[in-house]
Amino acid sequence: MPTDELLVVDDLNVAYGESKVLFDVSIHIRANEIVSCVGRNGAGKSTLLKTIGGFIKPTTGSIMFANTSLVGIKSYNIAKMGLKYIPQDKKVFSDLTVRENLELGSYATQDYNWDKVTEYFPKLKSLMERKAGYLSGGERQMLMIGRALLGDPQVLLVDEPTEGLAPSIVTQLQNVFLELSKKTALVIVEQNLSLVSAISERVYAVKEGRVVHEISDESDIKSNVCEQFL
């Protein structure tokens, strides 16, 4: 195993009660890499991210992050270690203002440097006092990613970030992801293949709870080979 692997998931099995969702899933992510997971709805992509984030307990298998095992660690501690999960539901704390949302991110990580957030998302600056419930879908996604950036995470697990967003915002997010990858690794679950091919360095195709293919060739990614796995 090469030493620059940041996150290594090995033979991961996950089940909800009786029904198995993931079968022997193994993936690995290097530092500052953008990796995408593609696959149909219900293939188990989100489950994979949630399991890495500590929200679901795997039945067997190992998750190693910077040479520490994440299995059995509470999700808030995983987040503190620098591995943050951004759910797909685009739920911000709607009763709290944007400022308060960010304050909570700072409170958890003790990182009060908001410049990096506003640098990526300048729009948030003008929205500070607005209740997050009144934000548009794109603004919410910005807030969710921005909130997660506090504490300088090493890995961001992003679940369907562009689902239901306008094309102009998708382009903006695309640039942000590319920019972010200078500092952190990103694992993105995505259905939008043009985004996937534009930013991914590697792609895992997930089907019925198994990783069926790993595409690491750049020209393959650019030429939309992934399409056959959707």
Partner 1 sequence: MDTQLLISGVIFGLSIGSVFFLLAIGLSLCFGLMRIISLDQLLYYAIGAYITYALFRSTGSVWIGVLGGMVISGLVAFGVERFIFLRIYERDITFTMIASFGILIAGVGAIKYVWGLAPLPVPSPIGAMATILGTEIPVYRLVVIVISILVYVGIWAFLNKTITGKAIRAGIEDIEHVEGLGINVYKLFTTTFIIAGVLSGLAGGLHAPLIMVDPQMGLEVLPFVFMVVIIGGLGSIKGTLVSAFIVGQVISLGAIIYGPLAQMAPFAIMLLILLIKPTGLYGSKLLKR
Per CB under 8 A, residues contacting partner 1 are 53, 55, 74-77, 79-80, 84-87, 91-96, 100-101, 103-105, 107-109, 147-148, 151
Instruction: Give the shortest CB-70-to-partner 1 separation in angstroms.
Output: 14
Instruction: Give the shortest CB-74-to-partner 1 separation in angstroms.
Output: 8
CA-based nearest residue to 41, from 219, 190, 220 = 190
Quick one: how far is CA 147 from the chain centroid? 13
Closer to partner 1 by Cβ: residue 100 or 201:
100
Q: Which two tokens stand for residue 3?
A: 């030493």
Closer to partner 1 by Cβ: residue 144 or 221:
144
d(CA 174, CA 92): 21
Whether 224 and 230 have beta carbons less than 8 Å apart is answered as no
Instruction: Give the shortest CB-221-to-partner 1 separation in angstroms.
Output: 29
Closer to partner 1 by Cβ: residue 45 or 84:
84
Instruction: Give the shortest CB-57-to-partner 1 separation in angstroms.
Output: 11
Quick one: how far is CA 79 from the chain centroid? 12
Closer to partner 1 by Cβ: residue 91 or 222:
91
DSSP 58-122: -SEEEEEETTEE-TT--HHHHHHHTEEEE-TT----TTSBHHHHHHHHHHHHT----HHHHHH-T
b/e for 146-183, b at 16 or more Cβ within 10 A? Answer: bbbbbbebbbbbbbbbbbebeeebbebbbebbeebbee
Closer to partner 1 by Cβ: residue 107 or 134:
107
Instruction: Give the shortest CB-97-to-partner 1 separation in angstroms.
Output: 10
Instruction: Give the shortest CB-106-to-partner 1 separation in angstroms.
Output: 9
Closer to partner 1 by Cβ: residue 99 or 210:
99
CA 187-112-114 angle, to 5 degrees, is 65
